[in-house]
């Protein structure tokens, strides 16, 4: 009995000793982790932010144009070339030669969108010198991009061929717009900027002789695509309930074209939950720092290849978090709220307003998706299209064979995508001969 008690006492002492060792080791690990996290925070907080320089000031307006300038909105610049190349004397107007001898379409004018709270100045590139009231395609690029990409170049060529005017918004923190490089921390803010952009270009573009509204289609790719969807829904809803004429500039809104819109995300590209939680916390502390985030390589899509407008390197933490939230949560939550609102409207119940309430009021919609898009799953795009309460002839999903997420950049997928987009736009921009 005595031996048994002594053995039990030794076992208890051993367990207590082991427990003390484990607690000590756990405390040491937690202490080291805290020190490491503190060092990371100090490191990211002390890194300088990269910001774009302010947009260059407008050149003097000639005396002959002074009277017109005081009564009508004016473009800020003209005869522009790409930021990374210069146009030669033998190039055609609106074109710039590349090192390979090709002619690239350059923007011919530039304007700026001032946010109402003066918190941002957004750059808009225009591709048409014609004074005629051509229909207007308003385009928003994806994250880390700018107006100097092959997508914009191919859209500009398509528009010039078909006598449509192209206006390209450079999002906040992108291209020549103000803000920290590639930093987009708020999706509602991005959507509001797209709405301001549409009103801006519809107001500034030359008007028809009968002073009617300019036909306008809003387009966007990737993040610009999902922002275009939200902005189009908001515009359509506003136009449907507006009776005082304050939205007269947008009365020609004819629909939206979404190119590989970021409405979902492939599960295999999402980091494990602990990593997501840690990066989310760091994004709040140091939003503009790139740490364990996707690496952007614009050499795939930059046009010209010497362009300095596109972002290079690791995405800012806040941008990564925002886009992950949008693709994994926001769109699905808003679609669910949209369907609940539809159900309540059917039985006459009151319902709260949702960001996508106006989707059923969008005049027409085209969605271009790449068959081999490994960033946005085809199932996510199909799910969104299915839930949009539009007649089949007003919503078209076109799947491009062998197309990836950079659908309108190059090759046969680009040619097929541009062809489908042009055919659809011709229907939206139909006008009397």
pLDDT tens sequence across 219-229: 999 999 999 99
pLDDT of residue 131: 74
pLDDT of residue 278: 86
Query: What residue segments make up the domains of the chain, in order of their start?
Result: 109-266+301-311+353-429
Whether 216 has a pLDDT exceeding 70, the answer reads yes
Residue 62: pLDDT band (50, 70, 90) is very low
HSE (side-chain half, CA atoms, 13 Å) at 350: 1
3-state class of 85 per DSSP? coil
Residue 246: pLDDT band (50, 70, 90) is low
pLDDT tens sequence across 30-59: 454 454 444 444 444 444 444 443 343 333
Q: How many CB atoms lie within 10 A of CB 275?
A: 11
Q: Which of 268, 226, 113 is nearest to 175 (CA)?
A: 113
- Crossing angle of helices 223-241 and 187-204, in 10° steps, is 60
The pTM for the full model equals 0.80
Residue 11: pLDDT band (50, 70, 90) is low
Whether 24 has a pLDDT exceeding 80, the answer reads no
Q: Are strands 165-170 and 136-140 parallel, antiparallel or unpaired?
A: parallel
Whether 85 has a pLDDT exceeding 90, the answer reads no
Q: How far apart are CA 230 and CA 77, in angstroms?
A: 30
Residue 23: pLDDT band (50, 70, 90) is low
Q: State mean pLDDT over 127-139.
A: 87
Q: State mean pLDDT over 293-315.
A: 94
- Mean pLDDT across the chain: 80
Residue 376: pLDDT band (50, 70, 90) is very high
Task: Find the length of the chain.
Answer: 433
In CATH, the architecture of 109-266+301-311+353-429 is 3-Layer(aba) Sandwich (3.40)
Whether 2 has a pLDDT exceeding 60, the answer reads no
Residue 19: pLDDT band (50, 70, 90) is low
Contact predicate 417/154, CB 8 Å: no
pLDDT tens sequence across 248-268: 889 999 999 999 999 999 888
């Amino acid at each position: 009995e005595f031996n048994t008690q002594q053995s039990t006492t030794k076992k208890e002492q051993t367990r207590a000793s082991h427990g003390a060792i484990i607690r000590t080791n756990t405390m040491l690990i937690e202490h080291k982790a805290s020190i490491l996290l503190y060092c990371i925070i100090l490191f990211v907080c002390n890194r300088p932010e990269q910001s774009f320089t302010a947009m260059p000031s407008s050149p003097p307006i000639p005396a002959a144009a002074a009277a017109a300038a005081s009564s009508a909105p004016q473009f800020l610049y003209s005869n522009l070339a790409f930021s990374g190349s210069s146009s030669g004397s033998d190039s055609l107007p609106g074109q710039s030669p590349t090192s390979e001898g090709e002619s690239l379409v350059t923007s011919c004018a530039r304007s700026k969108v001032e946010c109402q709270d003066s918190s941002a100045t957004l750059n808009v590139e225009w591709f048409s010198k014609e004074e005629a009231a051509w229909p207007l395609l308003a385009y928003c690029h994806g994250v880390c991009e700018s107006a100097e990409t092959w997508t914009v170049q191919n859209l500009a060529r398509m528009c010039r061929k078909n006598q449509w005017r192209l206006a390209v918004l450079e999002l906040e923190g992108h291209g020549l717009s103000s803000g920290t490089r590639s930093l987009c921390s708020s999706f509602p803010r991005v959507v509001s900027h797209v709405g301001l952009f549409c009103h801006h270009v519809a107001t500034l573009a030359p008007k028809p002789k009968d002073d009617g509204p300019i036909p306008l289609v809003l387009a966007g790719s990737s993040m610009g695509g999902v922002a275009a969807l939200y902005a189009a829904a908001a515009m359509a809803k506003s136009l449907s309930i507006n009776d005082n004429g304050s939205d007269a500039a947008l009365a020609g809104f004819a629909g939206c074209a979404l190119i590989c819109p970021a409405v979902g995300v492939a599960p295999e590209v999402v980091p494990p939950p602990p990593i997501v939680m840690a990066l989310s916390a760091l994004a709040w502390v140091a939003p503009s720092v790139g740490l364990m985030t996707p690496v952007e390589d614009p050499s795939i899509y930059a046009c010209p290849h010497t362009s300095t407008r596109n972002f290079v390197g690791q995405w800012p933490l806040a941008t990564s978090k925002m886009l992950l939230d949008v693709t994994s949560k926001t769109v699905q939550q808003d679609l669910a709220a949209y369907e609940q609102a539809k159900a309540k409207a059917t039985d006459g119940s009151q319902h709260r307003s949702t960001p996508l309430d106006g989707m059923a009021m969008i005049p027409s919609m085209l969605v271009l998706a790449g068959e081999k898009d490994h960033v946005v799953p085809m199932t996510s795009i199909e799910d969104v299209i299915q839930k949009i309460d539009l007649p089949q002839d007003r919503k078209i999903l076109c799947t491009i064979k062998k197309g990836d997420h950079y659908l309108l950049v190059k090759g046969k997928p680009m040619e097929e995508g541009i062809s489908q987009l042009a055919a659809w736009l011709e229907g939206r921009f139909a006008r009397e001969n």
